[in-house]
């Protein structure tokens, strides 16, 4: 970060600001209350509820879980007017919201999870619940998994005719991937539209990564907590967003969570890197998202916890 040499005061001025998250828990509005079903469950099922922050019943003498940020990512420049970026934030409740800075104050730009919840509520209202509370518990888990976001990423910007837009991509605990379209209209606020709902075989998506491979074309890599990685080739056209091809990049459910996926530039084409516990996996894909070649390297007894844009991986001992 360097100051502008053409400025009469060439120095960097840093400020600290705060972003307030909406205290929104999507699982509280799925049509079934955890407090109603917990009394008819077995001990193991009650433990399942306690271990999941979105299924935990509210008890009068127990403290509620605080809202914690688990992922944040900047959008491409230009998503907001005046060529600004939006900040995407995901909480431990599985809620995703977009925030924008105005006059050094952060404001809620749009609430993606609330919009997704309202779309599902319209369908759930048509369903009739049975009187069996145990059956309703399984319905509760399915609805929470569909609503809860477990990872998200941004695409690059697209230019189609005279319309410029970007995609916010969210991965759900159910394995469903949502593509939200944000058009650059210059307005103060823009409501995202759902461009595509993609059902996958993954469970509890843990990492998403977008890479542009051609004109209005990109590859999305998705990894889950079970260790599997899949690729999806998507094409943007006047008819909308279409998934042209899908492939299993790493089909082994080795229970090593896919924590990070990134692109490493290479003279022979892009190489995708995925981190899985102590393993670093390098992949080269073809135009259909299928694996051309790959290699996996275990980094001793070090657990890979993150990476930097320069390709340096920061690790900590197990």
pLDDT tens across 110-154, in order? 999 999 999 999 888 888 877 777 788 888 899 999 999 999 999
Statement: residue 313 has pLDDT above 60: no
CA distances from 149 to 135, 175, 197, 288 (A): 24, 10, 13, 27
Instruction: Return the structure tokens found at 166.
Output: 């970007």
Residue 315: predicted pLDDT: 52
Q: What are phi and psi of 194, to 5 degrees?
A: -80, 110
SS3 content of the chain, % helix, strand, coil (to 5): 15, 45, 40
Instruction: Give the mean pLDDT of 8-35.
Output: 80
Instruction: Give the mean pLDDT of 152-161.
Output: 91
By C-alpha distance, which of 44, 65, 66 is closest to 137? Answer: 44
Residue 148: predicted pLDDT: 94
Residue 188: predicted pLDDT: 65
Q: What is the pTM of this model?
A: 0.89
Radius of gyration of the chain, Cα coordinates, nearest whole angstrom: 21
Instruction: Return the structure tokens found at 191.
Output: 């409501």
Instruction: Give the mean pLDDT of 200-219.
Output: 91
The 10s digit of each residue's pLDDT in 279-312 is: 889 888 887 777 888 888 888 777 887 776 555 4
Check residues 316 and 269 and name the one with the higher pLDDT: 269
Residue 222: predicted pLDDT: 96
User: What's the mean per-residue pLDDT of the chain?
Assistant: 85
Decide if 178 contacts 229 (C-beta within 8 A): no
Instruction: Return the structure tokens found at 305.
Output: 């916890």
Residue 26: predicted pLDDT: 83
Rounded Cα distance, 259 and 19, in Å: 25
For residues 211-245, one letter each, b for 16 or more C-beta atoms within 10 angstroms of the residue's C-beta and e for the rest, the string is beeeeeebbbbbbbbbbbbbbbbbbbeeeebebee
Instruction: Give the mean pLDDT of 220-231.
Output: 94
The 10s digit of each residue's pLDDT in 27-63 is: 888 888 888 888 878 888 888 888 888 888 777 777 7
According to DSSP, the residues that pair with 194 across neighbouring strands are 180
Statement: residue 163 has pLDDT above 50: yes
Residue 200: predicted pLDDT: 95
Please count the helices (runs of H) and the strands (runs of E) in the chain: 4, 19
Residue 312: predicted pLDDT: 46
Residue 302: predicted pLDDT: 77
Instruction: Give the mean pLDDT of 168-179.
Output: 96
Decide if 175 contacts 89 (C-beta within 8 A): no
Instruction: Give the mean pLDDT of 270-281.
Output: 88
């Amino acid at each position: 970060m360097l100051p502008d040499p053409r400025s009469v005061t060439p120095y960097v001025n840093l400020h600290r600001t705060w972003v307030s998250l909406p205290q929104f828990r999507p699982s509280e509005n799925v049509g079934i209350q955890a407090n109603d079903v917990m009394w008819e469950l077995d001990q193991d099922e009650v433990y399942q509820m306690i271990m999941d922050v979105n299924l935990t019943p509210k008890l009068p003498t127990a403290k509620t879980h605080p809202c914690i940020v688990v992922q944040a990512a900047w959008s491409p420049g230009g998503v907001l007017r005046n060529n600004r970026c939006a900040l995407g934030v995901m909480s431990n409740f599985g809620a995703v919201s977009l925030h924008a800075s105005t006059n050094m104050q952060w404001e809620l730009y749009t609430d993606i999870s609330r919009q997704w919840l309202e779309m599902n509520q319209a369908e759930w209202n048509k369903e009739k619940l049975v009187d069996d509370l145990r059956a309703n518990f399984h319905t509760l888990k399915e609805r929470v998994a569909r609503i809860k976001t477990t990872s998200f990423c941004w695409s690059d910007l697209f230019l189609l005719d005279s319309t410029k837009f970007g995609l916010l991509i969210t991965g759900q605990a159910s394995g469903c991937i949502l593509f939200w379209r944000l058009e650059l209209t210059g307005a103060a606020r823009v409501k995202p539209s759902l461009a595509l709902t993609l059902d996958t075989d993954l469970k509890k998506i843990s990492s998403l990564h977008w890479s542009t491979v051609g004109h209005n074309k990109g590859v999305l890599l998705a990894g889950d907590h079970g260790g599997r990685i899949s690729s999806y080739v998507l094409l943007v056209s006047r008819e909308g967003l279409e998934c042209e091809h899908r492939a299993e990049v790493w089909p082994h459910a080795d229970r090593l969570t896919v924590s990070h996926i990134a692109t490493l530039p290479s003279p022979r084409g892009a190489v995708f890197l995925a981190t899985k516990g102590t393993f670093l996996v390098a992949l080269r894909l073809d135009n259909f998202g299928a694996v051309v070649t790959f290699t996996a390297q275990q980094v001793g007894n070090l657990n890979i916890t993150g990476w930097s844009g320069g390709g340096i991986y920061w690790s900590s001992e197990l």
